[in-house]
Amino acid sequence: MSETPKKRRWLIPLLIVSLALNLAVAGAILGREFSPDKSSKRDRISGPVRSVIGAPFFRALDKDDRRALIRELREEGPRIRENRESLRLRLEAFLSALRSEPFDADEVRRLMGDQRSVAQGRQELGEMLLLNRLQDMSTEERAAYADRLEDGIRNFRRKRD
């Protein structure tokens, strides 16, 4: 009878370790979920509006400005989708030209220029919408935005190095 409790002595430390690991995982999940720096799904650019505005420029905006910018981008959704479709069609033509025999460097150069023009139009739309946001900011708000942008870029560089 005294052998049964001795055999189970390892069970209590195992349960303590298991509980500690479960609490650590739960703490990490809850910490991430309720973090003041965490952006909500509503603050993310997704779908066809993605990549119209550079991520550092978007993330440096405060929450209200990010949401307003997303609304403006969504209003431009048809234009952005058309732009994306144009990029897709040009990419298909580019791939076809790469595979063609004989290789036509002038055609590939033309297609690359077309891609650049379409992408530039997309970037110009993002810049216009961002500039509108920046114009609506006070001097102090723009300075705070500049500080957040600078910090974001500095942190990105640190992670990359």
| Burial status of residue 73 (CB atoms within 10 A of its CB: 0-12, 13-18, 19 or more) | buried
Contact by Cβ (8 Å): 60, 134: no
Q: How far is CA 152 from CA 14, 61, 82, 146, in A?
A: 43, 11, 31, 10
pLDDT at 138: 94
pLDDT tens digit string along 50-86? 567 778 888 899 989 988 888 888 888 788 778 778 8
* pTM higher than the cut 0.75: no
Give 43's pLDDT tier (boundaries 50, 70, 90). very low
pLDDT tens digit string along 89-144? 888 999 999 999 999 999 999 999 988 888 888 888 889 999 999 999 999 999 99
Provide the 10 A C-beta neighbour count for residue 68: 16
Q: Tokens for 1, please give them.
A: 């009878």
